[in-house]
Amino acid sequence: MNDPRWAVITGASSGIGAEMARIYAARGRSLVLTARRAERLADLKAEIAEAHPAVAVELVRLDLEQPEGAEALLAELDNRGIEIETLVNNAGFGLRGRFATLPYGDQAAMLQLNVVSLTKLCRLVLPSLVARRRGGILNVASTAAFQAIPYMATYAATKAFVLSLSEALHEEVRRHGVVVTALCPGPTATEFTIRADLEKSKLFERPMSAATVARMGIDGHEAGRAIVITGASNKAGAIGAKLAPRFLARRMAGWLQG
């Protein structure tokens, strides 16, 4: 049976976003899937339609790296008469390398996607959720949020922002019946690894599956949690990063990345 509550997933064409779409579809949720790659979205919609024919799936091809991307997405949903129940801010990417040599344009695009567009979407969507006193936002952060990471300096900083913002919003809106969650996965088997040039990183020798990360994130969000860290080893690493002297945590992170 189709659940009329719409879940909007950004970056849904692959990886964690695509797996979240599959999980929500299996649970009967109506879906809006958005990403830049229209063919990937169409393939995913066809897959969901075959497995769950009663589930409504809408596609929006959009580039959230563009400054007007967030507003364009909300305008398109308004045109289609879609009211967001759950927003999943999954779109994002990382880059590995020395800060001083990575192209600034690439780092600026990362800031736009990982931080600015995510923040805009949260600000545009939250008022209606609060007014209806239901629904929520699931922001995909990272275990990189818990410490500075040399050779991924900007990426880790963006995810620290996402974690901090999500925690603060969680407290602001929970009394209104709205849940904001930060999902903090560790190394995960997705295309992110290729774009970020992490295939040879020591951290990615035993990545978690995207399907497992997606399920843990959705389950934690639906349970009302503020932070979901995937896996016991990642939880231990996050705790260790907080307890260890900061110079030691960043040097260890630099060794693992370098």
Distance, in Å, from the CA atom of 44 to the CA atom of 32, rounded to the nearest integer, reads: 12
Distance separating alpha carbons of residues 230 and 147, to the nearest angstrom: 16
The rounded distance, in Å, linking the Cα atoms of 223 and 31 is 20
151 is catalytic: no
* Confidence (pLDDT) at 207: 80
Question: pLDDT tens digits for 214-245?
Answer: 999 999 999 999 999 998 777 777 776 676 66
- pLDDT(195) > 60: no
49-95 pLDDT tens trace? 999 999 999 999 999 999 999 999 999 999 999 999 999 999 999 99
Q: What is the pLDDT of residue 78?
A: 97
| pLDDT score recorded for residue 189 | 79
CATH architecture of 3-257: 3-Layer(aba) Sandwich (3.40)
Tell me which of 24, 104, 151, 155 is the catalytic residue.
155
Backbone conformation region of residue 5, classed left if phi is above 0, alpha if psi is from -120 to 50, else beta: beta
Kindly report whether the global pTM for this prediction surpasses the value 0.95. no
